[in-house]
């Protein structure tokens, strides 16, 4: 599989460190399990073979402690639409003991739908996403 997705993720601000502390596991919609590690403000998701399939980078700690959000995230194209990022956000919330909010930057229509489903599942109102493209 081509790793252009990871190069694009890095351009968007994801930090893909190779090392990190194992903080748990997540399961996708198909029942596949993935290991989640955390290091350098970044959560990395790897499949059973150790292949990087997802990533989420937090903002600097001073910003995150005020408004907890994910600065940048990406999922390997052949693993998208499996619920990996939703499960990863749940894992981040457990690990950081917080409730994530949308980032203050620009949002795609896919982001809008992600947050609509996420907040509906919790019975929360849809947050205002001021910059949608």
Per residue in 98-108, pLDDT (tens digit) is: 999 998 878 88
- The rounded distance, in Å, linking the Cα atoms of 8 and 73 is 10
Structure tokens at 48: 């059973």
Residue 111 has pLDDT above 80, yes or no: yes
- CB 97, CB 66: distance < 8 Å: no
Question: Is residue 17 pLDDT above 70, yes or no?
Answer: no
Say how far residue 56 (Cα) sits from the centre of its chain.
4
Indicate the domain borders of the chain. 4-101
- Taking the whole predicted model, whether its pTM rises above 0.95 is answered as no
How much is the pLDDT for 77? 94
DSSP at 125: P
Q: Which residue has the higher pLDDT, 130 or 38?
A: 38
C-alpha 2/C-alpha 64 separation (Å) is 32
* pLDDT, tens digit, 9 for 90 and up, residues 38-62: 988 899 999 999 999 999 999 887 7
**φ, ψ for residue 36, nearest 5 deg:** -120, 125
pLDDT at 1 > cutoff 60: no
At residue 90, the pLDDT reads 96
């Amino acid at each position: 599989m081509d790793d252009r997705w990871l190069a694009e993720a890095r351009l968007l601000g994801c930090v893909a460190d190779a090392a990190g502390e194992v903080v748990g596991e997540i399961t996708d919609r198909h029942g596949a399990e993935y290991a989640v590690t955390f290091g350098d403000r970044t959560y990395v998701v790897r499949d059973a073979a150790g292949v990087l399939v997802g990533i989420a980078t937090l903002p600097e700690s001073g910003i995150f402690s005020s408004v907890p959000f994910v600065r940048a995230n990406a999922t390997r194209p052949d693993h998208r639409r499996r619920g990996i990022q939703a499960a990863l956000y749940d894992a981040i919330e457990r690990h950081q003991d917080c409730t994530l909010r949308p980032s203050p930057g620009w949002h795609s229509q896919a982001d809008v739908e992600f947050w609509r489903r996420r907040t509906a599942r919790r019975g929360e109102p849809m947050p205002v996403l001021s910059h949608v493209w």
